[in-house]
Amino acid sequence: MGFDYCGISKADFLEEEAPRLENWLNKNMHGQMSYMQNYFDKRLDPRLLVPGAKSVISLLLNYFPSETQIDATAPKLSKYAYGLDYHLVIKEKLNHLLEFIKENIGEVDGRAFVDSAPVLDKAWAKKSGLGWIGKNSNLINKNSGSFYFIAELIVDLYLDADGPIKDYCGTCTRCIDACPTDAIVAPYVVDGSKCISYYTIELKESIPNDVKGKLNDWVFGCDICQDVCPWNSFSKPSTEPMFKPKEELMGMTKNDWQELTEATFKQVFKGSAVKRTKFEGLKRNIDFITHV
């Protein structure tokens, strides 16, 4: 299917994550992401999402690009948004995998998840030994870093579970030190409402003036805490052809971004995750970083 890593955990209540999630929500670290409050119980127990669930199969798919935006002064996009929308790419792969399991094992009930349902992807990937949660709250794989999409199949099939691995962050604080908006408020704790990704994607109203000059030219997402992570020196370019960036996107100059029209937006970002902001949202972000 092209996935890079696969790990398995027992479908059980996430005891360790329950108080952490509750505390995070109580401190309003989700900002306007009200959907994070929904389905609290389902987030912590996959058996409520898939009745009779026995196992969670976690998968990682590398999206690290082989190229970067040509104009170094142009507004920046998070690397995960360079190619085709990952939801479309991964959902298809997961459905193929579920069919493969059924063909080889028999009647198996299960559901595919890719970042669009109340599933704590990183917690399951960590439980299944695919990596540890870094101080920037991203899942880090010892061999390949953190530029991965995480997805799951939750199935009613007993499978031998893998175990977690240790944390290899050590005393490093590069991600915390590098965040321009101080969103990493403590090791392993990110205040989502201060994150550049939140300001540029999730926030629907005006970006607050107190972060003026702090977005470092990011207009969709942010990779700073991943770019500075030493473990990402092991990142290798993705071999998934659908994640290959469009030439016209990589070639956009600073001027092209500033003069972006709705027609160009629809053309360049067709099938892209960037459509989530809509044209007006992306324009708002571009204007915010260019008008000092």
Query: What amino acid positions are annotated as catalytic residues?
Result: 115
Token reading at 3: 């996935």
* Backbone torsions φ then ψ of 6, nearest 5 degrees: -140, 135
Judged on CB neighbours under 10 Å (0-12, 13-18, 19+), 107 is exposed
Judged on CB neighbours under 10 Å (0-12, 13-18, 19+), 186 is exposed
Distance between CA atoms of 61 and 57, rounded to whole angstroms?
A: 13
CB 154 within 8 A of CB 113: yes
Secondary structure class of 221 (helix, strand, coil): coil
CB 140 within 8 A of CB 175: no
Q: Which residues pair with 140 in a beta bridge?
A: 132
Token reading at 161: 């579970």
Q: Where are the alpha helices (DSSP H) in the chain?
A: 17-26, 40-44, 86-105, 121-127, 174-178, 196-197, 224-227, 247-250, 254-258, 262-268, 278-290
- Distance, C-alpha 142 to centroid of its chain: 18
Token reading at 219: 């207009």
